[in-house]
Amino acid sequence: MIISLQLSTRLYARLLVLYPEELRRDYGSEMALAFADDLDTARRDAGLRGVIRVWRCALCEFLKFALPGRLSSPAVRVPFIALAFSVFSLSVELVLHYSTQAPLRFAIAAMLPTFGTVLTPLAVIWACRSRGVLSLGLSHAAVGEE
Amino acid sequence: MPSANLPLPPATFFILFALATGDKHGYAIMQDARKLSDNRFQIGPATLYTTVQRLLDSSWIEEVQGPADGDPRRRYYRLTKQGNSALHYEMDRMEALVRKSKALRLRPMESGS
């Protein structure tokens, strides 16, 4: 569990790259620290359920603060929409294919459109960006309203 | 404190509420906010620090020196006079609403009705 906590913390620190620059520059290290502390407390208090709660909150914040800023640039928006559409189409096909088979396979396949549509394009864009394939001249003006 | 700022967004309210009991760093604010809301409201790091920045900008809170034995990686925050009056305006507003609802004998609707 300790290893998974370290992985979680590292993953969160990586995700911070996608947050608005101003927020990341001023508070990035403290955000990572607060996340790690929160995760640790949640694990001690509620085990896996607590860890899931902290991650759910972090992902909701990611969608609220990081994604809108990223998608404001056409350099990200266009590939994101294209990839999202492709993954969604493929996923629907898989769901239809497995709909006649075992319930477990169907359940797994049914989750793909939900998670894959958002996460796959993000992962691809993230990977491209870290390799310098995509240069993101993004504006980080909107730190975000509540 | 202009009443135009009311009602306060939940994150703003709970951050001010948490700081009303003393200077705190970010994570302590997150924990206090959860406790004060009986685990009903959770502030994540991004919401916390975005709101903290806005509160600093409007001088409702200020950054202060942490305790000598504190973690040097953490920044501490304190409620200012303006922040304190904003919090009390909000609490008065809530109290007035509760009083009105009691006067009207409002009760939650039974489920299924």
The pLDDT tens digits of the residues spanning B5-45 come to 779 999 999 999 999 999 999 999 999 999 999 988 889 99
| pLDDT value of position A82 | 73
Of A38, A58, A146, which has the smallest distance from its Cβ to B11's Cβ? A146
ipTM: 0.84
Residues of B in contact with A36 (CB under 8 A): none
Lowest mean per-residue pLDDT among A42-46, A71-75, A105-109, B93-97: A105-109
Residues of B in contact with A67 (CB under 8 A): none
Largest CA distance in chain A: 52
pLDDT at A137 over 60: no
| pLDDT value of position B4 | 64
pTM listed for this prediction: 0.71
Considering Cα of A128, then A130, then A135, then A141, what sign does the dihedral take?
positive
pLDDT in tens, A3-60: 678 888 899 998 898 888 899 999 999 999 999 999 999 999 988 888 888 998 998 8
Q: How many CB pairs under 8 A join A and B?
A: 71
H or E element at residue B77? strand B76-79
Of B9, B42, B46, which has the smallest distance from its Cβ to A31's Cβ? B46
Which chain B residue's Cα is nearest to A143?
B50
